[in-house]
């Protein structure tokens, strides 16, 4: 009687372990697919941002000086033709070019400035989605049992994509309805 009880317990443990491993494998596979999809979306947005910068640099009627426009175009071309291993450096150069361009926002054609602003914002969002997917995948892969059982197989550990995208090339401060800082409440005059 005792051996049958141990046998049933062992079968139940084996079933539970199999269900857990299968569930973890499925979740890990979905997380890796999420990383791949987020990587593709990030790549598309980075290309879009570089293309928007190139379009703005080559836009006729722009008041950007020719040497600066040439520098912007060269930076955009480098980002569009970059090797994936050097991508971060090229995208940081694009980000710095956009920051430098922010000072000239008032003299830029509105269509090009809006396109670049939207592209920069989309890069920021896509990078956050990608890094969130990487974080979730790395968290699951770092747990003890997935590491011991090698549940990730031979897949490479996904890496974060960190670039300086702090300059969103947003609306100029003069274009705001109220010129007050958003975190400072206006003072009320006494009657």
- Select from 189, 144, 133 the least CA-distant residue to 20: 144
For residues 146 and 25, give the distance between their C-alpha atoms in angstroms, rounded to a whole number: 9
Mean pLDDT along residues 146-169: 83
Mean pLDDT along residues 69-91: 88
pTM over 0.85, yes/no = no
For residues 99 and 77, give the distance between their C-alpha atoms in angstroms, rounded to a whole number: 17
| pLDDT tens track for 48-66 | 999 999 998 888 766 777 8
- Select from 128, 117, 32, 50 the least CA-distant residue to 87: 50
Alpha-carbon radius of gyration of the chain:
26
Q: At 180, is the pLDDT very low, low, confident or very high (cuts 50, 70, 90)?
A: very low
Q: At 191, is the pLDDT very low, low, confident or very high (cuts 50, 70, 90)?
A: very low
Is the model more confident about 125 or about 62?
125
For residues 130 and 41, give the distance between their C-alpha atoms in angstroms, rounded to a whole number: 8
Percent of the chain with pLDDT over 90: 48
Contact 93, 79 (CB under 8 A): yes
The domain segmentation of the chain, as residue ranges, is 2-162
Chain Cα centroid distance, residue 121 = 10
Task: Please give the CATH number for the structural domain made up of 2-162.
Answer: 1.20.1440.20
């Amino acid at each position: 009687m005792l051996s049958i009880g141990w046998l049933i317990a062992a079968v139940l443990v084996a079933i539970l372990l199999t269900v857990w491993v299968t569930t973890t494998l499925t979740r890990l596979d979905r997380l890796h697919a999420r990383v791949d999809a987020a990587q593709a979306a990030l790549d598309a947005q980075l290309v879009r941002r570089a293309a928007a910068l190139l379009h703005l640099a080559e836009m006729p009627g722009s008041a950007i000086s020719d040497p600066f426009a040439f520098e912007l175009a060269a930076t955009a071309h480098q980002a569009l033709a970059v090797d994936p291993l050097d991508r971060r450096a090229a995208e940081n150069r694009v980000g710095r070019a956009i920051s430098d361009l922010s000072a000239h926002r008032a003299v830029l054609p509105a269509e090009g400035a809006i396109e670049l602003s939207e592209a920069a914002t989309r890069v920021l969002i896509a990078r956050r989605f990608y890094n969130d997917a990487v974080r979730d995948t790395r968290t699951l892969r770092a747990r003890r049992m997935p590491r011991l059982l090698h549940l990730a197989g031979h897949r490479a550990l996904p890496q974060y994509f960190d670039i300086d995208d702090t300059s969103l090339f947003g609306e100029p401060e003069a274009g705001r309805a109220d010129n007050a800082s958003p975190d400072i409440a206006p003072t009320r005059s006494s009657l």
